[in-house]
Amino acid sequence: MRINIANIIVPKDTLWKFVVEEETEPCLHFFFPQMAAQIDFSKEIRFLEQEFFKLVPEIKNNTQDRRLDKLIEVTMKTGEVRWLLIHIEIQGYVDKNFTKRMFEYFYRILEMYQKPITALAIFTDDDPNFHPTEHRISCWGTEMVYRFNTYKLSEKTLADFQDKNNVFSIIMEMAWHNLKKNKPGDTALADLKLQIIRRFLEMGYSKNRIRKILLFLGFYINFEDKSLTENFIYKMNEVTHYTGVKDIGEVLAEQLGDEIKEFYREKGFKEAMEMAMEKVTEEVTQEITEQVTQEITEQVTQEVTEQVTQEVTEQVTQANILKLQKHGFAIQQIAEMLEIPLEEVKRLLGISDD
C-alpha cells in the first residue's frame, strides 16, 4: 500500500530529536562555534538518554509537553570530557516555570554526576516577549543566579542563516520560515524548499545524508493545500536526481517510521492502536478485502504501523481533536500540533466566537 506522505503528522520534537542526533557536529558548530573548535570530533559523541531520565524521570512519562532535551557528552582536544544540555522549546506558549526547570536540570546533574554543564535553550515560539535567560533565587541578602545560553529564533533574520558550509544553518532557516510572521504562502513555500534543497546539494553531501536532511525539510513546515505535497515531492525527486524504485517521500516516511511509532507508543498501546486504525480512510477501507483488513489489524497489534500515515477524514480529525482535548490540551495547542487553523479546530468542536 502506497504511503500518502501529504497527511503524515510528525510532532516537531520528534523532528528536532532526529536532526540533532543526525547532524550533531554541524549543530554544535552553529550554536557553539568557539567551543566546537576545541572539540575532538574523531571521538564518539554520546547521547546520555538514560543518565538524563534518571535525573528527570517525569519527562519520560510526559506526553503532553512538546519539548526536546538532549544531554550530550563530547571530548575536547585536551582529552577533557564535557557535558552539554540542549533544550528546545517547541510549544508555542509561555511557560512561567521554564527558568526553574532549567535550574533543576543543572543542579540535579551537578549533584548526581558532579559534572558542570553548558546549557543552551532554543526558543522556536512566536512570542516576542518570551526570552528568559536566567533563574534567580534570593532571600535576605543571599542571592543565586543561574544564567544559561539562549537562542531566540524569532529575533533572527535571514542574514543569520547564510553560512554555506554548515547544514544546520539551512535547518534553522527552515524553522525560521515556520514562524507565523515569516511563513510563506504555498507557492513561495515550494520555491523556498527547492531553493534550500539546492543549497545543500551544492555542499556535496551523500544521497543518504541528503535524504535524512530532507526529512526535516519535508515535515517541519507543511503546505496549506495538502494536494501540493505530492507535486512538490515529484519536483524534489527531479532536483535531487533520485531514481530509486521508491520516491523520496516514501523513503523519508520509512526513515521516520520508528519515531512515529515511538510517539504514538508513548500515548499507550491501546490508544495508539485506535488512533492508527482511525487513520485508515473510507477510501482505503472500501478497497481492501476482509483478509487484508485482518492482516492490518494483526500488524497494528504488534506495532503502530504505516496506517498512522493514511489520509484522515474530517470525522477522524474531529475524533483526534476530542481525544487531545480530553487529555488536557488547549485548543491553541491542538491547532499547532495538528497544524490546522485554530478556526477549524473551533468549528469541529462546535465552539462559536460569539
Q: Which residue, among 257, 215, 252, 334, has the nearest Cα to 265 in the 3D structure?
A: 257
The pLDDT of residue 308: 44
What is the structure's pLDDT at 277?
43
Sign of CA dihedral 10, 340, 192, 150: negative
Return the axis-axis angle of helices 12-22 and 207-220, rounded to nearest 10°: 160
pLDDT of residue 284: 43
- pLDDT at 148 (0 to 100): 95
CA distances from 86 to 123, 124, 148, 185, 302 (A): 11, 13, 11, 31, 33
Determine the pLDDT at residue 164.
79
What does the pLDDT read at residue 283?
Answer: 42
Q: What's residue 273's pLDDT?
A: 40
Residue 9, burial from CB neighbour count under 10 angstroms (0-12, 13-18, 19+): middle
Domain chopping of the chain, boundaries: 5-250, 267-306, 313-354
Tens place of pLDDT per residue across the chain (354 aa)? 444 555 566 778 888 888 898 899 999 999 999 999 999 999 999 999 888 888 877 655 554 555 688 999 999 999 999 999 999 887 656 778 889 989 999 999 999 999 889 999 999 988 888 999 999 999 999 999 999 999 999 999 999 998 878 989 989 998 999 898 888 888 888 888 878 777 777 777 776 777 777 777 777 887 787 777 767 766 666 666 655 545 445 555 555 555 555 544 454 434 444 444 444 444 444 444 455 455 555 554 454 444 444 444 566 777 777 877 776 777 887 777 777 788 887 887 887 765
Rounded CA separation 66/3 (Å):
26
Question: Amino acid letter at 313?
Answer: T
Q: Are 279 and 260 in contact, with CB atoms under 8 Å apart?
A: no
What is residue 258's predicted lDDT score, i.e. its pLDDT?
A: 54
User: What are the residues whose beta carbons fall under 8 Å from the beta carbon of 291, sequence distance 6 or more?
Assistant: none
Residues 172/30, Cβ–Cβ less than 8 Å = yes
Half-sphere exposure of 202 (CA within 13 A, CB side): 11
